[in-house]
Structure 1
Amino acid sequence: MPENRVIMLTGSTDGIGFETVRRLATPGATVVVHARNDEEGAAAYQRLVNSGVDSRRLQPAIADFADLRQVADLAAAVADTYPQLDVLVNNAGIGGTNHRTVTKDGHEQTFQVNYLAPYLLTRLLVNTLAASPVGRVVNVSSSLHRGGRINWTDPSWKRRYNRGAAYAQSKLALTMFTAALTELEPKIHEAISVHPGIIATGMLPHYSYRGRPVSEGAEVLARLADPDAKVLNGCFYDGRLPARAASAAVEPEAVGKLWRVSERLTLLDQRRTDRA
Protein backbone atom coordinates (compact mmCIF):
# COMPACT_ATOMS: atom_id res chain seq x y z
CA MET A 1 0.00 0.00 0.00
CA PRO A 2 1.48 3.39 -0.96
CA GLU A 3 2.32 5.91 1.73
CA ASN A 4 -0.14 8.25 3.36
CA ARG A 5 -3.38 6.44 2.52
CA VAL A 6 -6.29 7.47 4.72
CA ILE A 7 -9.16 5.06 5.35
CA MET A 8 -12.15 5.85 7.55
CA LEU A 9 -14.19 3.02 9.00
CA THR A 10 -17.35 3.72 10.97
CA GLY A 11 -18.45 1.35 13.70
CA SER A 12 -14.89 0.34 14.58
CA THR A 13 -15.25 -0.60 18.24
CA ASP A 14 -16.25 -4.25 17.93
CA GLY A 15 -17.20 -7.07 15.59
CA ILE A 16 -16.25 -6.88 11.93
CA GLY A 17 -15.33 -3.20 12.17
CA PHE A 18 -12.74 -3.75 14.91
CA GLU A 19 -11.15 -6.70 13.14
CA THR A 20 -11.11 -4.83 9.84
CA VAL A 21 -9.18 -1.95 11.42
CA ARG A 22 -6.55 -4.43 12.58
CA ARG A 23 -6.05 -5.54 8.98
CA LEU A 24 -6.02 -2.06 7.46
CA ALA A 25 -3.76 -0.33 9.98
CA THR A 26 -0.54 -1.24 8.16
CA PRO A 27 2.56 0.85 7.41
CA GLY A 28 1.68 3.66 5.05
CA ALA A 29 -1.95 3.86 6.13
CA THR A 30 -3.88 5.93 8.63
CA VAL A 31 -7.21 4.49 9.76
CA VAL A 32 -9.83 6.83 11.20
CA VAL A 33 -11.38 4.69 13.91
CA HIS A 34 -14.96 5.79 14.56
CA ALA A 35 -16.74 5.16 17.85
CA ARG A 36 -20.09 6.23 19.22
CA ASN A 37 -18.66 7.92 22.33
CA ASP A 38 -15.36 8.68 24.04
CA GLU A 39 -15.50 5.67 26.36
CA GLU A 40 -16.04 3.14 23.57
CA GLY A 41 -13.43 4.87 21.44
CA ALA A 42 -10.78 4.80 24.17
CA ALA A 43 -11.46 1.14 24.93
CA ALA A 44 -11.24 0.14 21.25
CA TYR A 45 -8.04 2.14 20.78
CA GLN A 46 -6.40 0.43 23.74
CA ARG A 47 -7.49 -3.02 22.55
CA LEU A 48 -6.09 -2.32 19.09
CA VAL A 49 -2.75 -1.18 20.48
CA ASN A 50 -2.63 -4.13 22.89
CA SER A 51 -3.21 -6.48 19.94
CA GLY A 52 -0.09 -5.14 18.25
CA VAL A 53 -1.43 -2.34 16.05
CA ASP A 54 0.94 0.62 15.73
CA SER A 55 -0.74 3.54 17.49
CA ARG A 56 0.63 5.86 14.80
CA ARG A 57 -1.71 4.15 12.31
CA LEU A 58 -4.85 5.07 14.30
CA GLN A 59 -6.86 8.27 14.49
CA PRO A 60 -9.86 8.16 16.85
CA ALA A 61 -13.10 9.88 15.82
CA ILE A 62 -16.32 10.21 17.79
CA ALA A 63 -19.96 10.63 16.73
CA ASP A 64 -23.25 9.13 17.83
CA PHE A 65 -25.13 8.36 14.61
CA ALA A 66 -28.40 8.83 16.47
CA ASP A 67 -27.57 12.56 16.39
CA LEU A 68 -27.08 14.02 12.91
CA ARG A 69 -25.39 17.14 14.28
CA GLN A 70 -22.62 14.92 15.61
CA VAL A 71 -22.37 13.26 12.20
CA ALA A 72 -21.96 16.65 10.54
CA ASP A 73 -19.33 17.64 13.11
CA LEU A 74 -17.47 14.39 12.44
CA ALA A 75 -17.42 15.08 8.70
CA ALA A 76 -16.10 18.58 9.32
CA ALA A 77 -13.35 17.30 11.63
CA VAL A 78 -12.20 14.69 9.11
CA ALA A 79 -12.25 17.18 6.24
CA ASP A 80 -10.25 19.68 8.29
CA THR A 81 -7.67 17.07 9.30
CA TYR A 82 -7.06 15.29 6.01
CA PRO A 83 -6.60 16.89 2.57
CA GLN A 84 -7.96 13.71 1.03
CA LEU A 85 -9.79 10.58 2.10
CA ASP A 86 -9.02 7.49 0.05
CA VAL A 87 -11.71 5.13 1.33
CA LEU A 88 -14.81 5.61 3.47
CA VAL A 89 -16.31 2.40 4.87
CA ASN A 90 -19.87 2.89 6.13
CA ASN A 91 -19.94 -0.05 8.51
CA ALA A 92 -21.72 1.29 11.61
CA GLY A 93 -25.14 -0.22 12.08
CA ILE A 94 -27.68 -1.53 14.56
CA GLY A 95 -30.23 -4.30 14.47
CA GLY A 96 -32.98 -2.13 15.84
CA THR A 97 -35.13 -2.44 18.92
CA ASN A 98 -38.26 -4.48 19.56
CA HIS A 99 -40.16 -1.27 20.12
CA ARG A 100 -39.92 1.77 17.87
CA THR A 101 -37.31 4.27 19.02
CA VAL A 102 -37.11 7.85 17.72
CA THR A 103 -33.90 9.87 17.57
CA LYS A 104 -33.59 13.50 18.61
CA ASP A 105 -33.76 14.31 14.89
CA GLY A 106 -37.23 12.74 14.74
CA HIS A 107 -36.36 9.64 12.70
CA GLU A 108 -36.82 5.98 13.50
CA GLN A 109 -33.50 4.94 14.99
CA THR A 110 -32.64 2.03 12.69
CA PHE A 111 -33.29 4.09 9.57
CA GLN A 112 -31.17 6.96 10.85
CA VAL A 113 -28.19 5.01 12.19
CA ASN A 114 -28.01 2.50 9.33
CA TYR A 115 -28.82 4.85 6.47
CA LEU A 116 -29.42 8.56 7.04
CA ALA A 117 -26.24 9.02 9.08
CA PRO A 118 -23.91 7.35 6.54
CA TYR A 119 -25.75 9.18 3.77
CA LEU A 120 -25.06 12.52 5.45
CA LEU A 121 -21.48 11.66 6.35
CA THR A 122 -20.70 10.61 2.79
CA ARG A 123 -22.33 13.62 1.17
CA LEU A 124 -20.44 15.99 3.47
CA LEU A 125 -17.14 14.23 2.70
CA VAL A 126 -17.60 14.19 -1.08
CA ASN A 127 -14.94 16.82 -1.77
CA THR A 128 -12.45 15.11 0.55
CA LEU A 129 -13.06 11.79 -1.20
CA ALA A 130 -12.85 13.45 -4.61
CA ALA A 131 -9.37 14.75 -3.77
CA SER A 132 -8.09 11.17 -3.71
CA PRO A 133 -7.34 9.22 -6.89
CA VAL A 134 -9.18 6.32 -5.27
CA GLY A 135 -12.16 8.10 -3.66
CA ARG A 136 -14.02 4.89 -2.80
CA VAL A 137 -17.14 4.42 -0.68
CA VAL A 138 -17.84 0.94 0.72
CA ASN A 139 -21.35 0.50 2.14
CA VAL A 140 -21.79 -2.51 4.41
CA SER A 141 -25.21 -3.78 3.44
CA SER A 142 -26.93 -7.12 3.99
CA SER A 143 -28.49 -9.85 1.91
CA LEU A 144 -31.68 -8.96 3.79
CA HIS A 145 -31.94 -5.82 1.66
CA ARG A 146 -33.58 -8.08 -0.94
CA GLY A 147 -36.57 -8.51 1.34
CA GLY A 148 -36.88 -4.81 2.13
CA ARG A 149 -39.02 -2.04 0.74
CA ILE A 150 -38.89 1.71 1.17
CA ASN A 151 -41.92 2.85 3.12
CA TRP A 152 -42.16 6.09 1.17
CA THR A 153 -45.16 7.50 3.05
CA ASP A 154 -43.83 6.51 6.47
CA PRO A 155 -40.07 5.79 6.42
CA SER A 156 -39.88 6.21 10.20
CA TRP A 157 -42.58 3.61 10.79
CA LYS A 158 -44.96 5.71 12.86
CA ARG A 159 -47.56 3.08 12.01
CA ARG A 160 -47.07 -0.68 12.11
CA TYR A 161 -43.46 -0.68 13.23
CA ASN A 162 -41.70 -4.00 12.73
CA ARG A 163 -38.07 -4.49 13.71
CA GLY A 164 -37.23 -6.80 10.82
CA ALA A 165 -38.94 -4.60 8.23
CA ALA A 166 -37.19 -1.50 9.58
CA TYR A 167 -33.80 -3.21 9.36
CA ALA A 168 -34.40 -4.51 5.83
CA GLN A 169 -35.55 -1.04 4.71
CA SER A 170 -32.38 0.55 6.10
CA LYS A 171 -30.13 -1.89 4.27
CA LEU A 172 -32.09 -1.56 1.04
CA ALA A 173 -31.72 2.22 1.32
CA LEU A 174 -27.97 1.90 1.85
CA THR A 175 -27.68 -0.35 -1.21
CA MET A 176 -29.73 2.13 -3.25
CA PHE A 177 -27.37 4.85 -2.04
CA THR A 178 -24.52 2.95 -3.64
CA ALA A 179 -26.28 3.12 -6.99
CA ALA A 180 -27.08 6.79 -6.43
CA LEU A 181 -23.44 7.65 -5.80
CA THR A 182 -22.42 6.12 -9.11
CA GLU A 183 -25.24 7.79 -11.03
CA LEU A 184 -25.81 11.12 -9.29
CA GLU A 185 -22.52 12.09 -7.64
CA PRO A 186 -19.80 12.45 -10.29
CA LYS A 187 -17.16 13.45 -7.72
CA ILE A 188 -17.18 9.96 -6.21
CA HIS A 189 -14.80 7.72 -8.13
CA GLU A 190 -16.02 4.35 -6.82
CA ALA A 191 -18.94 3.11 -4.72
CA ILE A 192 -19.76 -0.47 -3.82
CA SER A 193 -21.91 -2.29 -1.29
CA VAL A 194 -21.21 -5.62 0.38
CA HIS A 195 -22.87 -8.35 2.39
CA PRO A 196 -19.86 -9.64 4.36
CA GLY A 197 -21.55 -12.94 5.15
CA ILE A 198 -23.49 -14.47 8.02
CA ILE A 199 -21.04 -13.64 10.75
CA ALA A 200 -21.13 -14.31 14.49
CA THR A 201 -21.64 -10.72 15.65
CA GLY A 202 -24.40 -8.94 17.52
CA MET A 203 -26.32 -8.76 14.24
CA LEU A 204 -26.48 -12.57 13.93
CA PRO A 205 -30.07 -12.94 15.22
CA HIS A 206 -31.24 -11.19 12.06
CA TYR A 207 -29.89 -14.05 9.98
CA SER A 208 -29.40 -17.29 11.82
CA TYR A 209 -28.45 -18.99 15.04
CA ARG A 210 -24.99 -19.80 13.72
CA GLY A 211 -22.47 -17.59 12.00
CA ARG A 212 -18.97 -17.74 10.60
CA PRO A 213 -16.01 -16.27 12.51
CA VAL A 214 -15.70 -12.50 12.65
CA SER A 215 -12.29 -12.82 11.03
CA GLU A 216 -13.89 -14.06 7.80
CA GLY A 217 -16.18 -11.04 7.51
CA ALA A 218 -13.30 -8.70 8.32
CA GLU A 219 -11.15 -10.30 5.65
CA VAL A 220 -13.82 -9.56 3.04
CA LEU A 221 -14.28 -5.98 4.17
CA ALA A 222 -10.55 -5.29 4.44
CA ARG A 223 -9.98 -6.51 0.90
CA LEU A 224 -12.69 -4.26 -0.55
CA ALA A 225 -11.46 -1.31 1.54
CA ASP A 226 -7.85 -1.73 0.42
CA PRO A 227 -7.14 1.26 -1.85
CA ASP A 228 -5.00 -0.98 -4.06
CA ALA A 229 -7.76 -3.54 -4.60
CA LYS A 230 -9.68 -3.39 -7.86
CA VAL A 231 -13.46 -3.28 -7.48
CA LEU A 232 -16.40 -3.14 -9.86
CA ASN A 233 -17.87 0.33 -9.52
CA GLY A 234 -21.51 0.29 -8.42
CA CYS A 235 -21.45 -3.44 -7.69
CA PHE A 236 -23.07 -5.34 -4.83
CA TYR A 237 -20.73 -7.96 -3.40
CA ASP A 238 -21.86 -11.06 -1.55
CA GLY A 239 -18.69 -11.83 0.33
CA ARG A 240 -15.76 -11.77 -2.07
CA LEU A 241 -17.82 -12.12 -5.22
CA PRO A 242 -19.99 -9.71 -7.22
CA ALA A 243 -23.68 -10.58 -6.95
CA ARG A 244 -27.04 -9.29 -8.09
CA ALA A 245 -28.62 -6.67 -5.86
CA ALA A 246 -32.36 -6.41 -5.45
CA SER A 247 -34.02 -4.89 -8.50
CA ALA A 248 -35.38 -2.11 -6.29
CA ALA A 249 -31.83 -1.18 -5.31
CA VAL A 250 -30.89 -0.17 -8.84
CA GLU A 251 -34.20 1.13 -10.22
CA PRO A 252 -33.29 4.65 -11.43
CA GLU A 253 -36.54 6.41 -10.50
CA ALA A 254 -36.57 4.98 -6.96
CA VAL A 255 -32.86 5.63 -6.48
CA GLY A 256 -33.29 9.26 -7.50
CA LYS A 257 -36.34 9.69 -5.30
CA LEU A 258 -34.52 8.34 -2.25
CA TRP A 259 -31.57 10.65 -2.96
CA ARG A 260 -33.87 13.68 -2.88
CA VAL A 261 -35.86 12.50 0.15
CA SER A 262 -32.63 11.90 2.04
CA GLU A 263 -31.38 15.41 1.31
CA ARG A 264 -34.53 16.75 2.96
CA LEU A 265 -34.53 14.37 5.94
CA THR A 266 -30.88 15.10 6.78
CA LEU A 267 -31.15 18.87 6.17
CA LEU A 268 -28.15 18.49 3.88
CA ASP A 269 -28.28 21.94 2.29
CA GLN A 270 -28.60 23.66 5.67
CA ARG A 271 -25.68 21.71 7.12
CA ARG A 272 -23.54 22.57 4.12
CA THR A 273 -24.41 26.25 4.61
CA ASP A 274 -23.56 26.03 8.32
CA ARG A 275 -20.22 24.46 7.43
CA ALA A 276 -19.42 27.18 4.89
Structure 2
Amino acid sequence: MNVAIITGGAAGIGYATAAGLAERGNHVVIAGRRQEALRTAADRLRKAYPGSTISTGELDLADLASVRSFAARVSAEHPKVDLLVNNAGVMAVPERRLTTDGFELTFGTNHLGHFALTGLLLPVLLAAEAPRVVTVSAAIARRGRIDLDNLDFHRDYRPMRAYSAAKLANVAFALELAARTDRLRSIAVHPGTAVTGIQRHVSPALRVVAGGLIALMGQSAEEAARPSLLAATDAHIASGAYFAPRGIGEGRGRPAPARIPAAAQDPTLRDRLWVASERLTGVSYHLVAPQRAVA
Protein backbone atom coordinates (compact mmCIF):
# COMPACT_ATOMS: atom_id res chain seq x y z
CA MET A 1 0.00 0.00 0.00
CA ASN A 2 1.40 3.38 -1.00
CA VAL A 3 1.82 6.05 1.66
CA ALA A 4 0.60 9.55 0.72
CA ILE A 5 0.97 12.68 2.85
CA ILE A 6 -1.19 15.77 2.25
CA THR A 7 -0.48 19.01 4.11
CA GLY A 8 -3.62 20.94 4.90
CA GLY A 9 -5.51 17.71 4.41
CA ALA A 10 -8.31 18.34 6.91
CA ALA A 11 -10.35 20.73 4.77
CA GLY A 12 -10.89 22.26 1.35
CA ILE A 13 -8.80 21.13 -1.59
CA GLY A 14 -6.50 19.20 0.72
CA TYR A 15 -9.37 17.13 2.07
CA ALA A 16 -10.69 16.51 -1.45
CA THR A 17 -7.21 15.39 -2.48
CA ALA A 18 -7.01 13.08 0.52
CA ALA A 19 -10.42 11.63 -0.36
CA GLY A 20 -9.33 10.94 -3.92
CA LEU A 21 -6.20 9.19 -2.73
CA ALA A 22 -8.08 7.20 -0.08
CA GLU A 23 -10.55 6.05 -2.73
CA ARG A 24 -7.57 4.74 -4.72
CA GLY A 25 -6.44 2.58 -1.81
CA ASN A 26 -3.52 4.59 -0.47
CA HIS A 27 -2.55 4.91 3.16
CA VAL A 28 -3.31 8.60 3.56
CA VAL A 29 -1.65 10.78 6.18
CA ILE A 30 -3.48 14.08 6.59
CA ALA A 31 -1.36 16.78 8.20
CA GLY A 32 -2.52 20.02 9.77
CA ARG A 33 -2.35 22.35 12.73
CA ARG A 34 -5.52 21.47 14.63
CA GLN A 35 -5.93 18.00 16.12
CA GLU A 36 -9.72 18.22 16.38
CA ALA A 37 -10.06 19.10 12.68
CA LEU A 38 -7.68 16.28 11.78
CA ARG A 39 -9.67 13.73 13.81
CA THR A 40 -12.95 14.88 12.27
CA ALA A 41 -11.54 14.66 8.74
CA ALA A 42 -10.02 11.24 9.38
CA ASP A 43 -13.34 9.91 10.70
CA ARG A 44 -15.17 11.24 7.63
CA LEU A 45 -12.66 9.58 5.30
CA ARG A 46 -12.86 6.25 7.12
CA LYS A 47 -16.66 6.27 6.90
CA ALA A 48 -16.63 7.25 3.23
CA TYR A 49 -13.95 4.70 2.31
CA PRO A 50 -14.24 1.79 4.78
CA GLY A 51 -11.30 -0.08 3.29
CA SER A 52 -8.94 2.86 3.52
CA THR A 53 -6.15 3.44 6.00
CA ILE A 54 -6.11 6.99 7.35
CA SER A 55 -3.75 8.54 9.87
CA THR A 56 -3.13 12.07 11.04
CA GLY A 57 -0.16 14.19 11.99
CA GLU A 58 0.03 17.55 13.71
CA LEU A 59 2.02 19.95 11.55
CA ASP A 60 2.46 23.71 11.71
CA LEU A 61 4.37 24.86 8.64
CA ALA A 62 4.96 28.22 10.32
CA ASP A 63 7.11 26.55 12.98
CA LEU A 64 10.24 24.68 11.90
CA ALA A 65 10.33 22.73 15.16
CA SER A 66 6.87 21.39 14.31
CA VAL A 67 8.01 20.56 10.77
CA ARG A 68 11.00 18.65 12.12
CA SER A 69 8.87 16.83 14.69
CA PHE A 70 6.29 15.81 12.08
CA ALA A 71 8.97 14.60 9.65
CA ALA A 72 10.67 12.59 12.40
CA ARG A 73 7.38 10.91 13.40
CA VAL A 74 6.47 10.06 9.82
CA SER A 75 9.95 8.72 9.09
CA ALA A 76 9.80 6.54 12.21
CA GLU A 77 6.38 5.13 11.28
CA HIS A 78 6.93 4.70 7.54
CA PRO A 79 10.20 3.40 6.07
CA LYS A 80 9.05 4.77 2.72
CA VAL A 81 6.70 7.53 1.57
CA ASP A 82 5.44 7.35 -1.99
CA LEU A 83 3.78 10.74 -2.30
CA LEU A 84 3.98 14.15 -0.65
CA VAL A 85 1.39 16.77 -1.62
CA ASN A 86 2.51 20.24 -0.49
CA ASN A 87 -0.99 21.69 -0.38
CA ALA A 88 -1.42 23.83 2.74
CA GLY A 89 -1.10 27.59 2.66
CA VAL A 90 -2.17 31.01 3.85
CA MET A 91 -3.35 33.91 1.70
CA ALA A 92 -3.80 37.68 1.94
CA VAL A 93 -2.73 38.16 5.56
CA PRO A 94 -3.75 41.81 6.05
CA GLU A 95 -0.70 42.93 8.02
CA ARG A 96 2.87 41.67 8.10
CA ARG A 97 3.12 38.82 10.58
CA LEU A 98 6.01 36.50 11.41
CA THR A 99 6.35 32.75 11.82
CA THR A 100 7.79 31.26 14.97
CA ASP A 101 11.23 31.43 13.36
CA GLY A 102 10.90 35.05 12.27
CA PHE A 103 9.96 34.61 8.60
CA GLU A 104 7.17 36.60 6.98
CA LEU A 105 4.11 34.41 7.55
CA THR A 106 2.89 33.94 3.96
CA PHE A 107 6.29 33.18 2.44
CA GLY A 108 7.40 31.25 5.51
CA THR A 109 4.35 28.98 5.53
CA ASN A 110 3.70 28.48 1.82
CA HIS A 111 7.29 28.09 0.65
CA LEU A 112 9.85 27.73 3.45
CA GLY A 113 7.75 25.34 5.54
CA HIS A 114 7.18 23.06 2.56
CA PHE A 115 10.80 23.36 1.45
CA ALA A 116 11.93 22.19 4.89
CA LEU A 117 9.33 19.42 5.08
CA THR A 118 10.23 17.99 1.68
CA GLY A 119 13.94 18.02 2.50
CA LEU A 120 13.43 16.34 5.86
CA LEU A 121 11.25 13.64 4.26
CA LEU A 122 13.63 13.12 1.36
CA PRO A 123 15.24 9.93 2.76
CA VAL A 124 11.88 8.13 3.09
CA LEU A 125 10.69 9.52 -0.23
CA LEU A 126 13.78 8.21 -2.01
CA ALA A 127 13.23 4.82 -0.34
CA ALA A 128 10.02 4.43 -2.37
CA GLU A 129 10.02 2.81 -5.79
CA ALA A 130 8.56 5.78 -7.68
CA PRO A 131 8.21 8.75 -5.31
CA ARG A 132 6.47 12.00 -6.20
CA VAL A 133 6.26 15.47 -4.74
CA VAL A 134 3.30 17.58 -5.85
CA THR A 135 3.46 21.26 -4.92
CA VAL A 136 0.32 23.38 -5.13
CA SER A 137 0.77 26.89 -6.51
CA ALA A 138 -1.76 29.40 -7.92
CA ALA A 139 -2.37 31.41 -11.07
CA ILE A 140 -1.16 34.54 -9.29
CA ALA A 141 2.35 33.08 -9.46
CA ARG A 142 2.54 34.65 -12.93
CA ARG A 143 2.41 38.07 -11.25
CA GLY A 144 4.86 37.14 -8.52
CA ARG A 145 8.27 38.68 -7.97
CA ILE A 146 10.91 37.19 -5.71
CA ASP A 147 13.22 39.77 -4.15
CA LEU A 148 16.02 37.74 -2.62
CA ASP A 149 17.03 40.73 -0.49
CA ASN A 150 13.52 41.12 0.89
CA LEU A 151 12.20 37.59 1.41
CA ASP A 152 10.88 38.58 4.83
CA PHE A 153 9.06 41.60 3.34
CA HIS A 154 10.54 44.00 5.88
CA ARG A 155 10.13 46.57 3.09
CA ASP A 156 6.81 47.37 1.45
CA TYR A 157 4.67 44.51 2.72
CA ARG A 158 1.47 44.01 0.75
CA PRO A 159 -0.76 40.97 1.29
CA MET A 160 -1.12 39.85 -2.32
CA ARG A 161 2.47 40.73 -3.18
CA ALA A 162 3.63 38.34 -0.45
CA TYR A 163 1.16 35.70 -1.64
CA SER A 164 2.14 35.95 -5.30
CA ALA A 165 5.84 35.72 -4.38
CA ALA A 166 5.17 32.62 -2.28
CA LYS A 167 3.17 30.96 -5.06
CA LEU A 168 5.94 31.75 -7.56
CA ALA A 169 8.41 30.23 -5.12
CA ASN A 170 6.26 27.07 -5.02
CA VAL A 171 6.64 26.62 -8.78
CA ALA A 172 10.33 27.54 -8.73
CA PHE A 173 10.91 24.98 -5.96
CA ALA A 174 9.06 22.23 -7.82
CA LEU A 175 11.04 22.85 -11.01
CA GLU A 176 14.36 23.12 -9.22
CA LEU A 177 13.73 19.89 -7.32
CA ALA A 178 13.03 18.22 -10.65
CA ALA A 179 16.28 19.62 -12.04
CA ARG A 180 18.36 18.52 -9.06
CA THR A 181 17.38 14.85 -9.01
CA ASP A 182 15.98 12.20 -11.31
CA ARG A 183 15.21 9.92 -8.36
CA LEU A 184 11.70 11.34 -7.89
CA ARG A 185 9.07 13.21 -9.86
CA SER A 186 8.42 16.79 -8.80
CA ILE A 187 5.31 18.42 -10.29
CA ALA A 188 3.65 21.80 -9.72
CA VAL A 189 -0.07 22.42 -10.05
CA HIS A 190 -2.52 25.30 -9.94
CA PRO A 191 -5.92 24.07 -8.69
CA GLY A 192 -8.06 26.81 -10.19
CA THR A 193 -10.57 28.97 -8.34
CA ALA A 194 -12.56 27.68 -5.37
CA VAL A 195 -13.74 28.93 -2.00
CA THR A 196 -11.66 27.25 0.72
CA GLY A 197 -10.22 28.04 4.13
CA ILE A 198 -7.21 29.73 2.56
CA GLN A 199 -9.34 32.87 2.11
CA ARG A 200 -9.91 33.23 5.85
CA HIS A 201 -7.63 36.30 6.10
CA VAL A 202 -9.31 38.13 3.19
CA SER A 203 -11.41 41.17 4.18
CA PRO A 204 -15.23 40.68 4.22
CA ALA A 205 -15.67 43.04 1.27
CA LEU A 206 -13.13 41.20 -0.85
CA ARG A 207 -14.66 37.91 0.20
CA VAL A 208 -18.01 39.03 -1.22
CA VAL A 209 -16.33 40.04 -4.49
CA ALA A 210 -14.39 36.78 -4.60
CA GLY A 211 -17.59 34.84 -3.96
CA GLY A 212 -19.23 36.48 -6.97
CA LEU A 213 -16.27 35.74 -9.21
CA ILE A 214 -16.12 32.15 -8.04
CA ALA A 215 -19.83 31.75 -8.74
CA LEU A 216 -19.12 32.77 -12.34
CA MET A 217 -15.71 31.20 -12.93
CA GLY A 218 -14.99 28.91 -10.02
CA GLN A 219 -15.54 25.32 -8.99
CA SER A 220 -15.92 23.07 -5.98
CA ALA A 221 -13.03 21.90 -3.83
CA GLU A 222 -13.47 18.43 -5.34
CA GLU A 223 -13.05 19.83 -8.84
CA ALA A 224 -10.13 21.99 -7.71
CA ALA A 225 -8.36 18.88 -6.39
CA ARG A 226 -8.24 17.31 -9.86
CA PRO A 227 -4.86 18.81 -10.88
CA SER A 228 -3.26 17.54 -7.66
CA LEU A 229 -4.78 14.07 -8.10
CA LEU A 230 -3.70 13.91 -11.73
CA ALA A 231 -0.15 14.93 -10.82
CA ALA A 232 -0.15 12.42 -7.97
CA THR A 233 -1.38 9.41 -9.92
CA ASP A 234 -0.84 9.71 -13.68
CA ALA A 235 2.04 7.46 -14.75
CA HIS A 236 2.82 9.54 -17.84
CA ILE A 237 3.43 12.95 -16.26
CA ALA A 238 7.09 13.93 -16.36
CA SER A 239 9.01 15.55 -13.56
CA GLY A 240 9.10 19.32 -13.90
CA ALA A 241 5.59 19.55 -15.37
CA TYR A 242 3.04 22.21 -14.44
CA PHE A 243 -0.70 21.54 -14.60
CA ALA A 244 -3.73 23.82 -14.28
CA PRO A 245 -7.41 23.82 -15.28
CA ARG A 246 -7.84 24.39 -19.00
CA GLY A 247 -10.88 26.70 -18.69
CA ILE A 248 -10.98 30.48 -19.10
CA GLY A 249 -8.39 32.14 -16.91
CA GLU A 250 -7.41 28.72 -15.55
CA GLY A 251 -10.29 29.14 -13.13
CA ARG A 252 -11.91 25.76 -13.70
CA GLY A 253 -12.02 22.86 -16.09
CA ARG A 254 -10.16 19.64 -16.69
CA PRO A 255 -6.48 19.79 -15.72
CA ALA A 256 -3.98 20.09 -18.55
CA PRO A 257 -0.35 21.11 -19.06
CA ALA A 258 -0.06 24.87 -18.52
CA ARG A 259 2.39 27.64 -19.29
CA ILE A 260 5.00 27.85 -16.55
CA PRO A 261 5.40 31.32 -15.00
CA ALA A 262 8.32 33.00 -16.78
CA ALA A 263 10.27 33.84 -13.63
CA ALA A 264 10.16 30.21 -12.47
CA GLN A 265 11.94 29.19 -15.66
CA ASP A 266 15.04 31.19 -14.70
CA PRO A 267 17.60 28.65 -13.42
CA THR A 268 19.69 31.36 -11.75
CA LEU A 269 16.74 32.64 -9.74
CA ARG A 270 15.73 29.09 -8.82
CA ASP A 271 19.24 28.25 -7.67
CA ARG A 272 19.58 31.41 -5.60
CA LEU A 273 16.18 30.83 -4.01
CA TRP A 274 17.17 27.24 -3.22
CA VAL A 275 20.42 28.34 -1.56
CA ALA A 276 18.55 31.00 0.45
CA SER A 277 15.90 28.46 1.49
CA GLU A 278 18.52 26.00 2.72
CA ARG A 279 20.22 28.76 4.70
CA LEU A 280 17.00 30.07 6.25
CA THR A 281 15.52 26.70 7.17
CA GLY A 282 18.74 24.87 7.99
CA VAL A 283 17.60 21.98 5.79
CA SER A 284 20.01 20.79 3.08
CA TYR A 285 19.08 18.32 0.36
CA HIS A 286 22.57 17.24 -0.76
CA LEU A 287 21.43 16.56 -4.32
CA VAL A 288 23.45 16.80 -7.51
CA ALA A 289 21.57 17.69 -10.66
CA PRO A 290 21.59 15.07 -13.44
CA GLN A 291 21.23 17.75 -16.12
CA ARG A 292 23.48 20.54 -14.92
CA ALA A 293 26.06 21.32 -12.29
CA VAL A 294 24.75 23.19 -9.28
CA ALA A 295 27.04 25.59 -7.45
Query: Does the alignment reach a TM-score above 0.5?
Result: yes
Q: Which amino acid aligns with 1:251?
A: D
Cα deviation, residue 162, structure 1: 0.2
Cα deviation, residue 203, structure 1: 4.1
Contact kept in structure 2, 1:111 and 1:170, CA below 8 Å: yes
SS of 2:225 mapped into structure 1? helix
Contact kept in structure 2, 1:142 and 1:171, CA below 8 Å: yes
Closer, same or farther: CA 27–180 of 1 in aligned 2, 3 Å: closer
Matched with 1:192 is 187
Closer, same or farther: CA 255–27 of 1 in aligned 2, 3 Å: closer
Cα deviation, residue 94, structure 1: 0.9
Matched with 2:144 is 148
Q: Which amino acid aligns with 1:150?
A: I
Give the whole-Å Cα distance in 1 for the aligned partners of 2:92 and 2:62: 12
Matched with 1:244 is 259
Of 102, 110, 118, the residue aligned with 1:114 is 110
Contact kept in structure 2, 1:27 and 1:57, CA below 8 Å: no
Q: Which amino acid aligns with 1:222?
A: L
Matched with 2:7 is 10
Q: Which amino acid aligns with 1:62?
A: E
Sequence identity percentage: 35
Give the whole-Å Cα distance in 1 for the aligned partners of 2:96 and 2:130: 39
Closer, same or farther: CA 212–131 of 1 in aligned 2, 3 Å: same
Give the whole-Å Cα distance in 1 for the aligned partners of 2:28 and 2:113: 20
Matched with 1:176 is 172
Give the alignment's Cα RMSD to 1 decimal.
Answer: 1.8
Contact kept in structure 2, 1:223 and 1:229, CA below 8 Å: no
Cα deviation, residue 154, structure 1: 1.1
Give the whole-Å Cα distance in 1 for the aligned partners of 2:85 and 2:166: 16
Matched with 1:255 is 270
Residue 223 of structure 1 pairs with residue 230 of structure 2: yes
Q: Which amino acid aligns with 1:163?
A: P
Closer, same or farther: CA 27–256 of 1 in aligned 2, 3 Å: closer
Residue 46 of structure 1 pairs with residue 43 of structure 2: yes
Contact kept in structure 2, 1:25 and 1:54, CA below 8 Å: no
Give the whole-Å Cα distance in 1 for the aligned partners of 2:182 and 2:238: 16
Matches within 5 A, 1:68-87: 68-87=64-83
Contact kept in structure 1, 2:25 and 2:52, CA below 8 Å: no
Q: Which amino acid aligns with 1:195?
A: H
Give the whole-Å Cα distance in 2 for the aligned partners of 1:237 and 1:35: 24
Contact kept in structure 2, 1:5 and 1:30, CA below 8 Å: yes
Unaligned runs of 5+ in 2: 200-205, 246-254, 285-295
SS of 2:133 mapped into structure 1? strand
Matched with 1:272 is none
Closer, same or farther: CA 55–99 of 1 in aligned 2, 3 Å: farther
Residue-by-residue CA offset, 1:153-174 (whole Å, 9 max, x unaligned): 1111112100000000001011
SS of 2:29 mapped into structure 1? strand
SS of 1:229 mapped into structure 2? coil
Give the whole-Å Cα distance in 1 for the aligned partners of 2:24 and 2:138: 31
Residue-by-residue CA offset, 1:184-239 (whole Å, 9 max, x unaligned): 2444x20010001112223466994312111211233222222x532121011113
Q: TM-score of the superposition, structure 2-length normalised?
A: 0.84
Closer, same or farther: CA 257–29 of 1 in aligned 2, 3 Å: same
Contact kept in structure 2, 1:87 and 1:136, CA below 8 Å: yes
Cα deviation, residue 27, structure 1: 6.1
Q: Which amino acid aligns with 2:31?
A: H
